[in-house]
Structures are given as structure tokens and as C-alpha cells.
């Protein structure tokens, strides 16, 4: 009974490969934690830079020695002459290095294939952007499932305009629909006038997703996105399953002396009097935009804490001249790491000025802080509209060309922080949503998701067993292959031995035959005996040519003519 129970409880192996961005790796790791609790063994594969980030951000998880069901596996990128070796993720990546990084990533298929061979997973869960993952999975008969780290609202709108080459007239949810101007702004690097379908295929490789299994996992809050999930399912012809909301670490238990000045500064501010501005690790605003944001914050006349980083330059060099001196009594600009969760929970924070990345938006809902939405690219514009629809956000309006305007930034900040009626309504809605989402976060992953993934894993194992049985019964496996399979079964899949119960016996019989043959050869091998000729004649026949086609394609079987044809 013990042996049988062990076989039932053996965890299925899942290999997860997120995009090489911190904003993608975090929800992948949170999903890995949930799946590991459902008795899956997870291998999370990414570059050294992303894995280092996970080890740091998930220090509490890795410090617990009982957590053994998640292993980090390094993916090696090929070296590129115009890509410095330390740039292995999109965090803080200068804009001019995006092309070489993505070129290197597109060439990482060979490295990933080796990883798949070594780990032999039962299932692969992949992100967008890597077209090689589905091809490698299919070539090795391993099921693969796509995991969307953006909301169903964003996914459905982006896939709709991908299918329609940018047309939005028949998109069924006008409340989140983007204008043509917003679409052009959101597709940051699209050449003017080029096809939206072609551009999105190049970036998101949607066609590769068609090769994956008939389910898609989504990091979302299902109760707020039912209609978007249903529409998405109808246009991608796959079942959509919610695995969220997934949120990173929200309990920074240690106090770092380096960040004590931030908390002390916030302690001196009145409740809800301060705006907290953060624009994520993946988005690099231009110097002109940063200066427009700074002027907007200054015009608002509101207390603020701004986390600002600009690769290759000191913060003072990108801000307007004299800005820091003018706002020093009511503002704080920092470029280092900050205790994000502590700040979001602080009583003085009345609004969150943010780019509307999906992770940041989910965090905003979790902490119950009103969102001042200032999106940077495509999915963020959709997320901003989704947050406004929920009633917990106010969107910064842009000019007719889509540019940032300091007056509109200042207006949005004042409306959230200083306008009593609007601010109170946003805070009340944010608080209600926070209470609801926290209940959902505490629940284990839906059993439907677990069953779907486990069925895929077991189906894969079953197909492998059936294939092995067919080869075995047809005698298409060499003895050496049988021996290798036997030892692999002993170490990794003892249940498989039940399906080929006489495998060990065949191997033993082979060795007995070999020993007898050796003994007989020692006695009679070189003698002119019937035994000797019985060995030589079959080998001679194997080396003899009985039939050949000449240059004209005519069949020749005459032993005299065959040498001439050759």
C-alpha cells in the first residue's frame, strides 16, 4: 500500500518560462508557489539577472527550508556584440538596448531545448514573446500552456485589434476601448502607418500561441472580468482560466535603516495628503516627459514622494533646473530601493501616481489606494480604463497629439488628494475593493485549474507509456535502450514498470545469452566448425548486395552486372 500511495502522490513536473522582465517573473513565481502547494514540482527558468531578482524579492520563501518544490533554472542567452553581458533583463534597460536583448532572447531556443531534455517536464507553462517554446514543446511531445500576466480586458482588446488590424468599431466593451490616438501611442515602437497586425505578431508572436493547449491561464481577478474572459475565449478559441489575483510580497517585515528617513518623512504628513509616484522598472520615460511630470507635480502644490530612476544619468540631471530646491518643503525624490508595501500602507498616502502596469494596479487595489492613471504603453492604457470602470482611478488626460500636459497632471493629482468629494469617493471604493480582493488572494488556486493542468501532465505520461509499449512490443528498441529505460524507470517513474512487467526479465535473458555466446566462442570461435560458419555466413549475407538500381532507374539483380553498375 505504501508503494502505491507514493506513486499516486508523486508530483508532476512543470517547467515555467516567463519573459525576461521583473514584471513577468513576479506573477510567474506567485503562480509557482500556488501550484507547488497543489503537489506540482516547479522548475522556473530565466536568465541570471531575473533569477537574482527573484532570490532577493522572494527571500522569505527561499529562507524556509521546507519549501523544496520550486527550483530555479538558468537560461543562457547567446552573447551579442552590442549587448553588454550584464543586461539580462528589461529592468532599467536603455531604449537602444531593447533590440539586441530581444534578438538574443529569440536565439535562446537551443539553450531552452537542452534544459527541457535534462528536466523532462510533464508540462511547460510559457509567457508571450518566446516563439521557440511551443515549437520545442511540440517537437518533444510535451503539452504547453500559455499564461497571460496581463488582465483579460487587456488581452481581449489587444487580440481583437490584432485580428482586425486596429479596427475597434465592433469591440463589445466601449468602456475600456482605446481611441486610435491611444493605440498609436501605446504601440510605442510601431512605424507610422504600418500594419498593426504585422507589428503585434512581430512583438507578441500570437501565431505561436495557436500551437499551445486549449486552455489559457490569466492573472486576473475573475469576479471583475467575467465578460472579458468570455469574449477572449470566443476569439482565441481556448478556455480561459483565472489563476489570480497574484500579487508579490506585501509584508516587508524588516526595517532597513536606509529607508527610515522615508517613513519618518511620511509620518509628518497629514492623512491622505501625499501622492506617491512610481513608474515601474520596465518603463523609461523620456527626459522631456520626466520634466513635464515634474512640472505637473509642482503645479499641484501637493505633498509627494517620487521614486525616480533614469538609466545612465543622475536624477538631478533630468529634472527641471531648480525643481528640487523649490519643492524641498513638501516633496521627496529618491532613486534607490524603497519599502513599497510600507509606503502604500502608510496613512499619509492619498493617491498612487502610476503607469498602470498590471502588477502595480493589482497592488493598488490590494492596498486600497486610489490610482492616478498615467499609462505608458498599450496594455497600460487598457488597464487604466479598467481601473476607472472599477471606480478606483482617475485618468490623466493628454493633449490632442497624445502628449503629457503638466496642467492635466496637476489637475488629476489635486482632484484625488485635495477635492474632498471626489477623493473620498475614490478612497471609499478603493477600500471596498481591497477588502474583497484580499479574501480572494488568501484562497488556494481553483481546483478546476489544478485538475486541468494535472490531466495534461498525466495525459502526457500516458502517451509516453503507450509509445514505449508499442516500441517494446514491436521489438524496435535495442537492448541498450531497454537497459537505459529500466534504470530511468527505477529512479524517476517506477509506475512505468507496471506497464512493461517483463522488461527486467528480457534484459536478464539477454545477458544470459551473451554469457553463453562468449563461452562458446572461447571454445569453438576460431575453429573450422559448423558454429564458426554459422556466425560468418549471416554477416556475409548482411554485407552482400543482392539488388540495385542503375543511373536510369532500372532494377539490376544479376550478380555479374551489379559490380558494373556500381
Active site residues: 24, 127
Q: What's phi and psi for 305, nearest 5 deg?
A: -125, 120
Q: In this structure, are residues 241 and 448 in contact, taking their beta carbons and an 8 Å threshold?
A: yes
User: Could you report how far apart the first and last alpha carbons of the chain are, in Å?
Assistant: 66
Strands 555-556, 548-549: pairing is: antiparallel
Helices 378-390, 358-367: crossing angle, 10 deg rounding: 20
Find out whether 244 and 219 touch, Cβ atoms under 8 Å.
Answer: yes
Strands (E), 195-237: 215-218
- Write out the three cell numbers for 65: 527550508
Distance (Å, whole) CA 87 – CA 235: 37
Is the separation of the CB atoms in 308 and 336 below 8 Å? no
Rounded to whole angstroms, the Cα distance separating 316 from 334 reads 11
Angle, to 10 degrees, between the axis of helix 226-236 and the axis of helix 152-164? 40
What is d(CA 90, CA 54) in angstroms, rounded to the nearest whole number? Answer: 14
* Cβ-count burial 467-489 (b if 16+ within 10 Å, e if not): ebeeebeeeebeeeebbebbeeb
Whether 306 and 297 have beta carbons less than 8 Å apart is answered as: yes
Partnered with residue 556 across adjacent β-strands are 548
According to DSSP, residue 278 is labeled E
Q: Which residues pair with 368 in a beta bridge?
A: none
- Round to whole Å and give the CA distance between 358 and 437: 15
d(CA 8, CA 494): 11
The residue among 299, 293, 328 whose CA lies nearest residue 414 is 299
DSSP-assigned states of every residue in 87-129: --SSTT--GGGHHHHHHHHHTTHHHHHHHHHHH--SEEEE-SS
Angle at 276 between CA 273 and CA 280, to 5 degrees: 170
Region of 446 (left: φ > 0; alpha: ψ -120 to 50; beta: rest) is beta
Rounded Cα–Cα distance for residues 262 and 267 (Å): 9
Q: How many alpha carbons fall within 13 Å on the CB side of residue 8? A: 5
Which among 111, 104, 113, 155 has a CA at the least distance from the CA of 134? 113
Strands in 107-183 per DSSP E: 123-126, 144-148
Amino acid at each position: 500500500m505504501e508503494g502505491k500511495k507514493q506513486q499516486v502522490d508523486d508530483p508532476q513536473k512543470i517547467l515555467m518560462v516567463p519573459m525576461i522582465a521583473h514584471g513577468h517573473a513576479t506573477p510567474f513565481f506567485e503562480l509557482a508557489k500556488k501550484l507547488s502547494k497543489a503537489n506540482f514540482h516547479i522548475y522556473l527558468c530565466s536568465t541570471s539577472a531575473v533569477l537574482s531578482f527573484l532570490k532577493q524579492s522572494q527571500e522569505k520563501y527561499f529562507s524556509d527550508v521546507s519549501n523544496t518544490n520550486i527550483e530555479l533554472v538558468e537560461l543562457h542567452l547567446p552573447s551579442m556584440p552590442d549587448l553588454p553581458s550584464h543586461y539580462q533583463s528589461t529592468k532599467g534597460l536603455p531604449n537602444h538596448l531593447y533590440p539586441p536583448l530581444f534578438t538574443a532572447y529569440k536565439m535562446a531556443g537551443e539553450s531552452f531545448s537542452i534544459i527541457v531534455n535534462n528536466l523532462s517536464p510533464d508540462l511547460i507553462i510559457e509567457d508571450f514573446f518566446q516563439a521557440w517554446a511551443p515549437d520545442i514543446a511540440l517537437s518533444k511531445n510535451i503539452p504547453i500552456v500559455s499564461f497571460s500576466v496581463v488582465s483579460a480586458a487587456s488581452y481581449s482588446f489587444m487580440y481583437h485589434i490584432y485580428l482586425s488590424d486596429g479596427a475597434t468599431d465592433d469591440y463589445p466593451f466601449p468602456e475600456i476601448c482605446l481611441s486610435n490616438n491611444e493605440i498609436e501611442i501605446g504601440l510605442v515602437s510601431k512605424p507610422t502607418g504600418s500594419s498593426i497586425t504585422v507589428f503585434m505578431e512581430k512583438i507578441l508572436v500570437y501565431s505561436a500561441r495557436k500551437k499551445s493547449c486549449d486552455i489559457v491561464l490569466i492573472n486576473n481577478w475573475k469576479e471583475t472580468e467575467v465578460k472579458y474572459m468570455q469574449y477572449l475565449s470566443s476569439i482565441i478559441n481556448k478556455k480561459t482560466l483565472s489563476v489570480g489575483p497574484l500579487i508579490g510580497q506585501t509584508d516587508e517585515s524588516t526595517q532597513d535603516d536606509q529607508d527610515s528617513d522615508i517613513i519618518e518623512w511620511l509620518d509628518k504628513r497629514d492623512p491622505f495628503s501625499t501622492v506617491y509616484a512610481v513608474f515601474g522598472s520596465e518603463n523609461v520615460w523620456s527626459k522631456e516627459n520626466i520634466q513635464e511630470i515634474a512640472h505637473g507635480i509642482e503645479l499641484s502644490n501637493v505633498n509627494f514622494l517620487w521614486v525616480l530612476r533614469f538609466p545612465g544619468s543622475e536624477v538631478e540631471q533630468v529634472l527641471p533646473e531648480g525643481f528640487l530646491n523649490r519643492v524641498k518643503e513638501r516633496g521627496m525624490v529618491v532613486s534607490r530601493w524603497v519599502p513599497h508595501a510600507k509606503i502604500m500602507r502608510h496613512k499619509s498616502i492619498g493617491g498612487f501616481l502610476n503607469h498602470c502596469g498590471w502588477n502595480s494596479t493589482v497592488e493598488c487595489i490590494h492596498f486600497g489606494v486610489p490610482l492616478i492613471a498615467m499609462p505608458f504603453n498599450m496594455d497600460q492604457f487598457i488597464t487604466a480604463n479598467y481601473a476607472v470602470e472599477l471606480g478606483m482611478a482617475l485618468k490623466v488626460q493628454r493633449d490632442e497629439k497624445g502628449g503629457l500636459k503638466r496642467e492635466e497632471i496637476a489637475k488629476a493629482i489635486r482632484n484625488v488628494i485635495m477635492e474632498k468629494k471626489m477623493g473620498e469617493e475614490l478612497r471609499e471604493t478603493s477600500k471596498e475593493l481591497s477588502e474583497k480582493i484580499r479574501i480572494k488572494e488568501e484562497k488556494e488556486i481553483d481546483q478546476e485549474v489544478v485538475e486541468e493542468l494535472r490531466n495534461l501532465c498525466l495525459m502526457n505520461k500516458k502517451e509516453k507509456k503507450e509509445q514505449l509499449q508499442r516500441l517494446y512490443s514491436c521489438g524496435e528498441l535495442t537492448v541498450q535502450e531497454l537497459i537505459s529505460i529500466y534504470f530511468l524507470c527505477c529512479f524517476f517513474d517506477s509506475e512505468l514498470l507496471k506497464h512493461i512487467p517483463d522488461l527486467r526479465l528480457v534484459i536478464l535473458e539477454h545477458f544470459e545469452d551473451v554469457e553463453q555466446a562468449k563461452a562458446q566462442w572461447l571454445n569453438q570461435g576460431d575453429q573450422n566448425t559448423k558454429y564458426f560458419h554459422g556466425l560468418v555466413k549471416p554477416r556475409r549475407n548482411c554485407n552482400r548486395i543482392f539488388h540495385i538500381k542503375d543511373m536510369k532507374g532500372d532494377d539490376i539483380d544479376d550478380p555479374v552486372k551489379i559490380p558494373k553498375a556500381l
